[in-house]
Amino acid sequence: MILQVKDIHTFYGTSHILFGISLDIDEGETVCVLGRNGAGKTTTIRSIMGLTRPRTGSIKFKGKEILGQSAYTISRAGIGFVPEDRRVFPSLTVREQLEVAHKEGFGNWDLDKVFGLFPHLKNLQRHKGNQISGGEQQMLTIGRTLMGNPELLLLDEPSEGLAPLVVEALAEQIRKLMEEDITILLSEMGLGFAVELSNQAFVIDKGENKWSGTPDKLLENEDLKSKYLAL
Ligand SMILES: Nc1ncnc2c1ncn2[C@@H]1O[C@H](COP(=O)(O)OP(=O)(O)OP(=O)(O)O)[C@@H](O)[C@H]1O
Ligand SMILES: [Mg+2]
Give pLDDT, residue 17: 98
Give pLDDT, residue 85: 86
> Is the C-beta atom of 107 inside 6 A of ligand 1?
no
Please compute the mean of the pLDDT values over residues 217-229 and round it to a whole number: 95
> Is the C-beta atom of 14 inside 6 A of ligand 1?
no
Query: Cα angle vertex 84, ends 80, 89, to 5°?
Result: 75
CB burial readout 202-219, b (16+ within 10 A) else e:
bbbbebebbbbeebeebe
In angstroms, what is the span from residue 121 Cα to ligand 1's centroid? 31
Over the stretch 72-118, which tens digit does the pLDDT of each residue have? 999 999 999 999 988 899 999 999 999 999 999 999 999 999 999 99
Over the stretch 139-173, which tens digit does the pLDDT of each residue have? 999 999 999 999 999 999 999 989 999 999 999 99
Residue nearest to atom 26 of ligand 1 (CA): 37
C-alpha span between 102 and 85 (Å, rounded): 21
> Is the C-beta atom of 17 inside 6 A of ligand 1?
yes
Cα 99 → chain centroid: 21
Residues 6+ apart with CB under 8 A from 177: 117, 146, 153, 184
Give pLDDT, residue 49: 98
Residue nearest to atom 12 of ligand 1 (CA): 17
Atom of ligand 1 nearest to the CA of 39: 21
> Is the C-beta atom of 42 inside 6 A of ligand 1?
yes
Give pLDDT, residue 87: 85
In angstroms, what is the span from residue 152 Cα to ligand 2's centroid? 19
State yes or no: pLDDT of 231 exceeds 80: no
Q: What is the CATH number of the domain that holds 98?
A: 3.40.50.300
Over the stretch 61-70, which tens digit does the pLDDT of each residue have? 999 999 999 9
Residue 166, domain extent: 3-228
In angstroms, what is the span from residue 109 Cα to ligand 1's centroid? 32
> Is the C-beta atom of 39 inside 6 A of ligand 1?
yes
Phi then psi for 106, rounded to 5 degrees? -70, -45
Please compute the mean of the pLDDT values over residues 126-147 and round it to a whole number: 95
38 alpha carbon, closest ligand: 1
The neighbouring-strand residues paired with 32 are 186, 201
> Is the C-beta atom of 35 inside 6 A of ligand 1?
yes
Over the stretch 158-213, which tens digit does the pLDDT of each residue have? 999 899 999 999 999 999 999 999 999 999 998 988 999 999 999 999 999 999 99
In angstroms, what is the span from residue 38 Cα to ligand 1's centroid? 5
Neighbours of 220 (CB within 10 A): 9
> Is the C-beta atom of 12 inside 6 A of ligand 1?
yes
Give pLDDT, residue 230: 81
Burial of 226 (0-12, 13-18, 19+ CB in 10 A): exposed
Based on the structure, what is the number of domains in the chain?
1
